Amino acid sequence: MREWASFDTIIKGKGIWLIDSKGNKIIDAVGSMWCNVWGHSNPQLVKAITKQTKQIQHSSLFNLTNEPAEKLAKNLIKISPGMNKVFFSDNGSSAMEIAIKMALQYWKNIGQTKKTQIATVENGYHGDTFGAMSVGYVPEFFGKFKKQLFSTIQFPVPNKYRIPKGFTYLDYQKDCLEKIEKRFSKNDDIAAFIMESGAQMAGGVIIYPKNFQSKISKLCKKYNILFVLDEIATGFGRLGSMVQYQEQQSTPDIVAYGKMLTGGYLTMAATLANKKIYDSFSGEFNDWKHLFHGHTYTGNPIAAAVANENIQMYKKYSLIKRIQKTSKIFLKYYEEILDIDIVGDIRHKGMLMGIELVSNKEKKIPIQTKKSINKVFFEEGKKQGIYLRTLGNIVMIVPPLSIQDNELELLLKRTIKTIQASKSKII
């Protein structure tokens, strides 16, 4: 951490630009931690916040409700096929904690006590709280807490860049799915299968092959296991669809949204459940079937108001179509990026690109250095006028979703320069 002795102070934002206290302007290539939709200081979103601020700023969802939260629940159900009810929270990790609790308690509520295990995939990421860490175990991030985390059953995900020797990509996928089915069929103890929807983000930008997710959802149905999806980082257009599970033809029992839900302006997340799950929680007071979970800011009216405006704007400005079109700009730069001698692989979908850095292209050896690759890229990026972050040896490009074609071109040109300038500092 010592390398971060001081931080630049951001004092303003406009569109894709962040402006610091010294007047430097940098492109927000991180989408302010993957959540920004319309750029910074969007007048419509700011207006929605200001308007709601004058009505009621916060009133709890304990024993009461509020109009923006009610409206948002309806909006979310409308865009989420198969879902029936919404449980609000204020960050993605909490939304996943809620998903885990809902899934485990569901079986208790219906009198099934054997189903207590959670199945997940290797290198998934669902947040930094203990439950979320347990189901999204990334050794580098969470190793120090291993003893305190609850155990899960983990399965591999096919990574097209690292296909095991002797396998084709298809064999590899089949093998991963067979491992899942073998375990599912062995013992009826699994309550839920939890995975990110469409792709793993923090785990290395691993984009699932076609049908992989839908086949897992079918296995879950076959073996009576709840299917739980995390769309916190990959839904709401990040991968080019409003609802990623629709594109993946894999309707879950429970799904979590966060990040882009408020356009990236305020902190809010939601866990949605289908009717089967919801009904299991509704009983008489004495049945004790409630979900004992709640946060102070659950359903905050200002956050809900800006989320409603955000969702309305997706429709009004056909954002998903725009993303699908603008996303093609990434393809134009594939070759140029891949030509750089430390770039081993590019993985891209929608408004997401992961660039994997290697020290040996042939052998696909990930770059390893005693220095922080992230810090080097951050400093070099800043010189090019871009806010860039890496996760391990992966450069993440996660811009505001409404980025214009010419802005994305500029961002990618600056990224290329940053990789070239960083090279000598990390090898």
Ligand X SMILES: Cc1ncc(COP(=O)(O)O)c(C=O)c1O
Place of tokens 């200001």: 50
**All residues at 6 or more sequence positions from 60 whose CB lies less than 8 Å from its CB, including other chains:** 296, 298, 299
Q: Is residue 388 a contact point for ligand X (CB under 6 A)?
A: no
Contact pattern for ligand X over residues 100 through 129, marking x by CB under 6 A: -------------------------xxx--
Whole-Å CA distances, 283 to 83, 245, 291 = 20, 30, 11
Interacting residue with ligand X among 119, 121, 232, 242 (CB under 6 A): 232
- Footprint of ligand X on 306-335 (CB under 6 A): none
Q: Is residue 73 a contact point for ligand X (CB under 6 A)?
A: no
Q: Which of 252, 161, 151 is nearest to 198 (CA)?
A: 252
- The encoded tokens of residue 143 equal 């190793």
| Region of residue 288 (phi > 0: left; psi between -120 and 50: alpha; otherwise: beta) | left
DSSP-derived pairing of the beta strands 190-196 and 226-230: parallel
As a whole number of Å, the CA-based R_g of the chain is 22
Q: Is residue 202 a contact point for ligand X (CB under 6 A)?
A: yes
Phi, then psi, of 199 in degrees rounded to 5 = -165, 155
**All residues at 6 or more sequence positions from 256 whose CB lies less than 8 Å from its CB, including other chains:** 92, 95, 96, 98, 99, 228, 229, 230, 231, 232, 269, 270, 271, 272
3-class DSSP assignment, residue 143: helix
Q: Which CB atom, from 270 or from 419, has the smaller least distance to ligand X?
A: 270
Q: Is residue 93 a contact point for ligand X (CB under 6 A)?
A: yes
Q: Is residue 390 a contact point for ligand X (CB under 6 A)?
A: no
CB 96 within 8 A of CB 132: yes
Q: Which CB atom, from 93 or from 402, has the smaller least distance to ligand X?
A: 93
Q: Which CB atom, from 96 or from 397, has the smaller least distance to ligand X?
A: 96
H or E, element range at 262 = none
Closest separation in Å from C-beta 94 to ligand X: 7
Closest separation in Å from C-beta 203 to ligand X: 9
Interacting residue with ligand X among 91, 274, 280, 415 (CB under 6 A): 91
Q: Which CB atom, from 91 or from 298, has the smaller least distance to ligand X?
A: 91
Q: Is residue 233 a contact point for ligand X (CB under 6 A)?
A: yes
Q: Which CB atom, from 244 or from 274, has the smaller least distance to ligand X?
A: 244
Interacting residue with ligand X among 37, 103, 201, 419 (CB under 6 A): 201
- The encoded tokens of residue 398 equal 């996660």
Q: Is residue 196 a contact point for ligand X (CB under 6 A)?
A: yes
Q: Is residue 18 a contact point for ligand X (CB under 6 A)?
A: no
What are the beta bridge partners of residue 193?
A: 119, 227
Give the interface segment with ligand X, choosing from 196-204, 335-343, 388-396, 398-406 (CB under 6 A). 196-204
- Distance from C-alpha of 147 to C-alpha of 159, rounded to nearest angstrom: 28
CA pseudo-torsion sign 40, 202, 158, 415: positive
Closest separation in Å from C-beta 131 to ligand X: 11
Closest-CB residue for ligand X? Answer: 92
Q: Is residue 230 a contact point for ligand X (CB under 6 A)?
A: yes
Phi, then psi, of 387 in degrees rounded to 5 = -95, 110
Give the interface segment with ligand X, choosing from 90-98, 279-287, 289-297, 337-345 (CB under 6 A). 90-98
Give the interface segment with ligand X, choosing from 164-172, 225-233, 302-310, 342-350 (CB under 6 A). 225-233
Size of the site for ligand X (CB under 6 A): 14
Q: Is residue 258 a contact point for ligand X (CB under 6 A)?
A: yes
Closest separation in Å from C-beta 66 to ligand X: 22
- Distance from C-alpha of 36 to C-alpha of 401, rounded to nearest angstrom: 7
Give the interface segment with ligand X, choosing from 88-96, 112-120, 312-320, 411-419 (CB under 6 A). 88-96
Q: Which CB atom, from 230 or from 356, has the smaller least distance to ligand X?
A: 230
> In the Cβ-directed half-sphere of 298, how many Cα atoms lie within 13 Å?
18
Q: Which CB atom, from 16 or from 233, has the smaller least distance to ligand X?
A: 233
- Footprint of ligand X on 263-302 (CB under 6 A): none
Q: What is the DSSP string of 188-219?
A: S-EEEEEEESSEESTTT-EEPPTTHHHHHHHH
- Distance from C-alpha of 232 to C-alpha of 330, rounded to nearest angstrom: 23
Q: Is residue 252 a contact point for ligand X (CB under 6 A)?
A: no
Q: Which CB atom, from 230 or from 380, has the smaller least distance to ligand X?
A: 230
Closest separation in Å from C-beta 35 to ligand X: 8
Q: Is residue 391 a contact point for ligand X (CB under 6 A)?
A: no
Q: Which CB atom, from 96 or from 403, has the smaller least distance to ligand X?
A: 96
* Residues near ligand X, by CB under 6 A: 91-93, 96, 125-127, 196, 201-202, 230, 232-233, 258
